[in-house]
Amino acid sequence: MENAKQNRMKELVKQLKEASKAYYAQDREIMSNLDYDRLYDELVALEEETGIVLSDSPTVTVGYESVEELPKERHESPMLSLGKTKSREELQDWLQGKPALLSWKLDGLTVVLSYDDGKLAKAVTRGNGEIGEVITNNARTFKNLPLSIAYKGELVLRGEAVITYSDFEKINAEIPETEAKYKNPRNLCSGSVRQLNNEITAERNVRFYAFSLVKAEGVEFLNSRKVQMDFLREQGFEVVEHVLVKPDTIQAAIADFEKKIETYDVPSDGLVLTYEDIAYGQSLGRTAKFPRDSIAFKWADELRETTLREIEWSPSRTGLINPVAIFEPVELEGTTVSRASVHNISILRSLKLGIGDRITVYKANMIIPQIAENLTGSDNLVLPEHCPVCGGRTEVRSVNDTESLYCTNPDCAAKRLKAFTLFVSRDALNIDGLSEATLEKFIAKGFIHDFEDLFHLADYKEQIVEMEGFGEKSYANLAESIEKARKTTLPRLLYGLGIANIGLVNARMLCRHFDYHLEDLMKADTEELSAIDGVGEVIAAAFVDYMKNDANRERIHKLVGELEIEVPVINESDQTLNGLSFVVTGSLNHYENRNELKEIIESLGGKVTGSVTGKTECLINNDVTSSSTKNKKAKELNVPILSEEDFIQKYLGGSSHAN
């Protein structure tokens, strides 16, 4: 019997770790919050029953492992998880008659900020609780974060980086190829905060809400958490909404938060209760995983039983076809719901769904409808063999151990939307005013069939002006943006075409090699392209295949007739980095981001790659002594590791500008 319990514990640890890794490190979801909590509680019960806690149990480990691409740093003190309860009475008893702060438990990414002499000095993610990722440059782009504050001493605080539901809906519709990655604001926020390019972070409206003060020497806080929060607000920080409660007021306060969550725009998955008396809370110490001065309250999910009517298959611009469960309407958390995303084929199969099955549904975090359990388990669903939009064949593909259904037709109308979204994006033709929603409307009305049609929208001015959300001014702004887009560069055009494996960097590389002669580029064969340093057979083959297609060639020629393509004048004497390959990692001081430094290196004839090889001239890393993967590789291959300052002195003549 004991062996059976231990085996079950090992099985639970494995399942929970896989779910945590997918959710925190890979920004994807393989099980619902309800399922995770159920398995976690089962593991806790078995550990208490057996007295055994496995070394890799999620009950004694915290968070996710940091990814390799960002610099890492150890926290001065471990960042622990919180003990949790779903019982309001238990929360009241926990107070032990003492006052405490009750606040939102925000659902984003925890970040530690350090200020020195009134300036933001460092931002580090929670990481695995011991070691986090340094994201200082990204934090500087948080929409509501003060970069300078009045307090000039050393200040350390913790808070949550979040993306609001309203921003999530806008961003998710406009950012190409993210629907397969981001299923909720938390995942989108995590991916945004941990970007290598802080331009992307800036575009995604990340906000920061402070929830605790770690250090502020020389300030008298009167032993009060509330005074600390007031101090942070005085410094310009937005602090998490909180209220001071006592045993006789806590139930009413919880009820108030419960009402607010129905319309609260910031993702939250519960509440946090922290003793107001700082010294008392600190005197309680901590367990292996939890501090004893705080506890988390998670909303008890309201479950409703209903009947599954059908599975609706919803195609996307990436070719991904998402299953959506349609069920008999039920009342949940004050609203009527009748549909819930099933996310992917893996989750669909794990639920063993069949039409007519009795299922239970709930709202994750009291917001997003989800299927909790299938009470029937008929498991008789047949996956569609044809795309509901174009009728093309479908296939199941496994990506990161998650199975999903895809449309295989490259000309599917749903995919055309993706193609237009990329073509008008910032790094391509950069046409403002053409959101994905607007493009979808224009496609549906027959205004645009191919890229060149975008430059003839004046033919439909009368209809566009009458469309919802448009008018004379909106149309005039769009027309002006389209005219500006006519003047572009060849790399932008190539990137905007959406050729497989051709990003903006590869497009620049190809254009430089052929001296920006489009016809020469279009005639190039695989052998010639493969010989270009940094291109390789895969990219070369994709490019040649695209150019062999008569429809694609005709599309390009029509576009060229609409555009004024600028050809850069290259002075060979300025190509001081010609033939040299560099790798840039970590945060920078002299440049806004790594893209800025990359563009300077490329303008001087150099190349920036993502990995260190024997051909790398040097690795640029301000943390020269770090034990990161790139530093280790550079040392193995005897590739010099230079700080940003040393690189500027050696290769840029002491100036951080190209010219």
Catalytic site residues?
105
At what angle are helices 413-423 and 436-444 packed, to 10 degrees? 130
- The residue type of 201 is T
> What sign for the dihedral angle of Cα 159, 165, 167, 170?
positive
Residue ranges with strand state E in 433-589:
487-489, 564-566, 581-584
Residue ranges with strand state E in 430-502:
487-489
Q: How far is CA 460 from CA 167, 193, 444, 456, 491, in A?
A: 30, 41, 13, 8, 30
Tokens of 300: 């008890």
Tokens of 239: 């602090």
**Could you tell me which residues come within 8 angstroms of residue 123 by beta carbon, excluding any fewer than 6 positions away?**
111, 112, 113, 114, 134, 135, 136, 138, 139
Tokens of 94: 């926990």
Show the CA angle centred on residue 389, arms to residues 383 and 394, nearest 5°: 35
Question: What SS3 state is found at 625?
Answer: coil
Cα separation, 137 vs 518, in Å, equals: 37
Q: How far is CA 50 from CA 5, 7, 55, 278, 648, in A?
A: 8, 12, 15, 35, 61
CB burial readout 402-412, b (16+ within 10 A) else e: bebbbbebeeb
Q: In what order do the strands lie in the sheet with 242-245?
A: 84-85, 294-297, 268-275, 100-106, 242-245
Question: What SS3 state is found at 440?
Answer: helix
- The residue type of 444 is A
Cα separation, 612 vs 151, in Å, equals: 42
Tokens of 62: 């915290």
**8 Å CB contact between 213 and 231:** yes
Tokens of 131: 């070691």
Tokens of 646: 């040393």
CA dihedral 570, 572, 577, 580 (to 10 degrees): 100
Number of helices (H), then strands (E), in the chain: 24, 24
Cα separation, 481 vs 475, in Å, equals: 10
**Could you tell me which residues come within 8 angstroms of residue 649 by beta carbon, excluding any fewer than 6 positions away?**
none
> What sign for the dihedral angle of Cα 326, 330, 331, 333?
negative
**Could you tell me which residues come within 8 angstroms of residue 221 by beta carbon, excluding any fewer than 6 positions away?**
213, 227, 228, 231, 278
